[in-house]
Amino acid sequence: MLDIAFIREFPDLVKAGAKKKHIQVDVDRLLDVDRQRRTLITEIEQLRAERNRKSKAVSSLPSGERETLLAETRVITEQLRRNEMALAPLEEEFEHLMLQVPNVPAPDVPDGLTDADNVEVRRWGEPPTFSFTPRDHVQLGEALDLIDIKRAVKIAGTRTYYLKNEAALLELAVLRFTLDHMIRRGFTPMLVPHLVKDEAMIGTAYFPGGEEQAYRIEKDALNLIGTAEVPLTAYHYDEILNEAELPKRYVGMSACYRREAGTYGRDTRGIFRIHQFHKVEQVIISVADEQVSIAEHEAILHNAEEVLQALQLPYRVVNVCGGDLGAPQVKKYDIETWMPSRNAYGETHSASRFYDFQARRLKLRYRDRQGRVHYAHTLNNTVIASPRILIPILEIYQQEDGSVIVPEVLRSYMGGTERISRKGK
């Protein structure tokens, strides 16, 4: 969340940020509630101090004066009770409104409403051309006995799948290759909890607002994660780190689960938009310095680009517009990888910076060399997500005879397999 002191000082900036993100929030009501609660808090503190002063004086007074003072103390206690009762709903509303206020987007975030308004930053690689009619990943998957969607739908419903044979190994290969790449970049590898408490979801700003996308286990008050970002960023929940420890660089590999609420009819064919998938996610916890965060943002984006370049997959980077940005981000880059069946680039990665927005919710702080305590800055980026990344791999590396070449950097992870062919050939 934002610092309330910042909202008080720059309400118009906060309003403009929410407008750019197309998020409705009543900043004026928040400031009005804030004024009321602060007034009541001041009165409560004064009443408590006065009650304590009178209570201490009672024992030293003659009996007649003592009764008078006790009567005054009872009046103060009653007023204190009324004020505390009036404060409780204000505090509740204040917390609710604070969680609704989005982060202020960076000045270079473009205007726009949807991903169609995102602005291209650069491209790498050339989309392939084929001397034959190419198949899409579903056709390839079925012909090579790699993907079985029909049986998955029978036992698990829509947006589900089985990966079989070389496809199962291919997914494990691309995940492990990516994880190894990040370890070489100095990141600490972690396997994370897939079920988390509401505190972690609120702390990373997936709640409130993202409840419809989460699978929730009501009986246990736990939520299945949609990304390893949640448990990785919340790893130091309610801790005070030392500045010398920063930055923390974590990379988590996990299964992820999303309901995809509101996407009915979108990307229903194949394995593009599904309920269960795997990701390798990088998270950075850094000092509270905007220039450092900007540099780290570019660095984590570069880490993901290196993976795609190693896989020889053409892609483009886009600067995400305000309406597509989301509440917590200051700025976000998406990487879109070329998918021949779509004849377009499809989103495969996101890289976000938040400044101290998540850290305030998570009470994630650090102590600097002068002993002062600050909220940390956080960043994250999807280094790879599968099986979505299998779409461009299968489609771009397909051959006229229906086989698929395995990207060279993945072959050692697949026992030296160079080509996926029809069974029996």
Kindly state the greatest CA–CA separation across the chain: 107
Decide if 163 contacts 399 (C-beta within 8 A).
no
3-state secondary structure of 325: coil
Q: What pLDDT was estimated at residue 70? A: 74
Structural tokens at position 175: 């995940």
Q: What pLDDT was estimated at residue 425? A: 53
Q: Is 296 one of the annotated active-site residues of the chain?
A: no
Decide if 213 contacts 258 (C-beta within 8 A).
yes
What is the percent of the chain with per-residue pLDDT over 90, rounded to a whole number? 90
In 33-130, DSSP assigns E strands to 119-124
* pLDDT reading at 423 higher than 90: no
* pLDDT reading at 89 higher than 80: yes
Q: Is 184 one of the annotated active-site residues of the chain?
A: no
Q: What is the mean pLDDT of residues 298-304?
A: 98
Q: What is the mean pLDDT of residues 304-326?
A: 98
Q: Among the options 258, 353, 361, 365, which is catalytic? A: 258
Closest C-alpha to 300, from 185, 418, 402: 185
* pLDDT reading at 58 higher than 90: no
The answer to which of 71-85, 116-130, 254-268 has the lowest mean pLDDT is 254-268
Residues forming CATH 1.10.287.40 domain(s) in the chain: 4-100
Confidence of residue 269 (pLDDT cuts 50, 70, 90): confident
At position 382, the amino acid (one-letter code) is T
Query: Where does residue 414 rank: exposed (0-12), middle (13-18), buried (19+ CB within 10 A)?
Result: middle
The answer to which of 171-180, 196-205, 265-274 has the lowest mean pLDDT is 265-274
Query: Where does residue 295 rank: exposed (0-12), middle (13-18), buried (19+ CB within 10 A)?
Result: exposed
Question: Regarding the domain delimited by 4-100, which CATH topology (the fold level of the hierarchy) does it fall under?
Answer: Helix Hairpins (1.10.287)
Decide if 207 contacts 197 (C-beta within 8 A).
no
Q: Is 388 one of the annotated active-site residues of the chain?
A: yes
Q: What pLDDT was estimated at residue 248? A: 98
Neighbours of 294 (CB within 10 A): 16
Under DSSP, the state recorded for 411 is G
Under DSSP, the state recorded for 398 is B
C-alpha to C-alpha distance for 340 and 343, rounded to whole angstroms = 5
Q: What pLDDT was estimated at residue 44? A: 95
Q: What is the mean pLDDT of residues 407-411?
A: 98
Q: Among the options 361, 388, 395, 403, which is catalytic? A: 388
Q: Among the options 199, 260, 306, 347, which is catalytic? A: 347
C-alpha to C-alpha distance for 238 and 421, rounded to whole angstroms = 52
Q: Is 258 one of the annotated active-site residues of the chain?
A: yes
Question: Regarding the domain delimited by 115-420, which CATH topology (the fold level of the hierarchy) does it fall under?
Answer: BirA Bifunctional Protein; domain 2 (3.30.930)
Arithmetic mean of pLDDT over the chain? 95
Q: Among the options 185, 216, 273, 411, which is catalytic? A: 273
Q: What pLDDT was estimated at residue 205? A: 97
Residues forming CATH 3.30.930.10 domain(s) in the chain: 115-420
Backbone angles phi, psi at 140, to 5 degrees: -65, -45
Closest C-alpha to 276, from 292, 260, 264, 291: 260
Q: Among the options 350, 352, 386, 403, which is catalytic? A: 350
Decide if 286 contacts 241 (C-beta within 8 A).
no
Closest C-alpha to 304, from 250, 249, 384, 184: 384
Q: What pLDDT was estimated at residue 63? A: 64
Q: How far is CA 36 from CA 39, 42, 79, 93, in A?
A: 5, 10, 16, 11
End-to-end, the C-alpha distance of the chain in Å comes to: 58
Decide if 198 contacts 221 (C-beta within 8 A).
yes
Tally the residues of the chain: 425
